[in-house]
Structure 1
Amino acid sequence: MGCFANTPKDVELLVEFGIFETAGTTSVVSSMITKLASEALFFVDRFCYATLCEELNNFCRSSWNKWKANLRQNYFNIPWASISVIAAVVLLTLTLIQTVCSVVSAT
């Protein structure tokens, strides 16, 4: 459970999606879950989500996935950012086409 809710933001997401309800602040709930998880014992061979956790950890370790997550969270978190990147790519493509057409027509 501790790996699912390490920060108050994790707790906010769990509450938002209705996974559990909280009566306290998210930071208090997060620290309580972390403390409970640190003192809990479980057997890895009987843990039903062991393969899922391993696959998730492998996915998160990939540098490509880290790069994509960083772009989405920091640069494309609002629709206008995505629209401006698309517009810039279109303008650069049109400029390249115009340059090629000018060079071809001049020769």
Structure 2
Amino acid sequence: MKIDKFPAHVVSANHDQVNHFVDFIRRNYLAPPPPKEDEQKHNAKDHEIPPSVTALDEAGVKFETTKDSASLLNIEFNNGRLKIPNFVVDDWTETLFRNLIAFEQCHDTEKYISQFMFLMMCMIRTSKDADLLMNYGVLSSMLGSSKDLSILFKHISRDVGFGEPYYYFQTCANLNAYCNTRRHRWKAILKRDYFNTPWKIASTIAAIILLVLTFTQTVCSILSVPKT
């Protein structure tokens, strides 16, 4: 674990309450912004599982990323754009986050690392999900394959529990609501299947014009038929 990957003001911060070296590393992964007061009213039965990356992509969600490692856990979703800080996966990632999660599970502390990894596990369900995140620059992997990536996130977050505050449940609810809106899915299909290249745009416009002309001709033909 390289401490110099964190900004200097984070490492030099006052850590009087640090309980363990693992806790020191954990605290350097700054907690995401706390949920709003009305979001705290959710209880366990209302919590939602987020859609997979593939489902989000098919619904037209745009993925953005940043390489600011200090805010690794700060995931934002606004106006159809999901912003996830760049996550680098190497041979030590599983060991590191297993230890961080184990510390949270064994201590009465906010479990924001556990919640973050659970969110990533839910979104990265298959190798295709991992491939999409790598293509969008969200994941940078030094492992063998995208299948290894999806398996890694499943292993890290297996049988993980977490309590209040619930940092990402409102984000999950917003993602599900976006994916369940037909307008967003139709718009994504149109853009992906009919407007993704200049040739498809031209052929789609030509087809629309032909359809309009055919409809107009049909209407004119009906109107010109003499009444008996």
Common fold by TM > 0.5: yes
Alignment of 1:1-107 (within 5 A): 1-24=120-143, 25-43=145-163, 45-62=164-181, 64=182, 68=186, 71-72=189-190, 75-76=193-194, 78-79=196-197, 80-101=199-220
1:52-77, Cα deviation, whole Å (9 max, x unpaired): 11111222234x25852783598447
Letter in 2 for 1:68: W
Greater relative contact order structure (CA < 8 Å, 6+ sep): 2
Letter in 1 for 2:154: T
Counterpart Cα distance in 2 of 1:19 and 1:47: 23
Unaligned runs of 5+ in 1: none
- Larger % of strand: which? 2
Identity %: 29
Give the deviation of 1:23 after TM superposition: 1.6
Give the deviation of 1:90 after TM superposition: 0.8
Contact kept in structure 2, 1:8 and 1:30, CA below 8 Å: yes
Unaligned runs of 5+ in 2: 1-119
TM-score where L is the length of structure 2:
0.37
Contact kept in structure 2, 1:59 and 1:65, CA below 8 Å: no
CA 1:76–1:98: 2 relative to 1, 3 Å: closer
CA 1:54–1:100: 2 relative to 1, 3 Å: closer
Letter in 1 for 2:168: Y
Contact kept in structure 2, 1:2 and 1:38, CA below 8 Å: no
Counterpart Cα distance in 2 of 1:38 and 1:65: 35
Letter in 1 for 2:128: K
Aligned length: 105
Give the deviation of 1:81 after TM superposition: 4.3
Give the deviation of 1:78 after TM superposition: 4.5
- Larger % of helix: which? 1
CA RMSD, 1 decimal: 3.2
1:77-97, Cα deviation, whole Å (9 max, x unpaired): 753445433322211211232
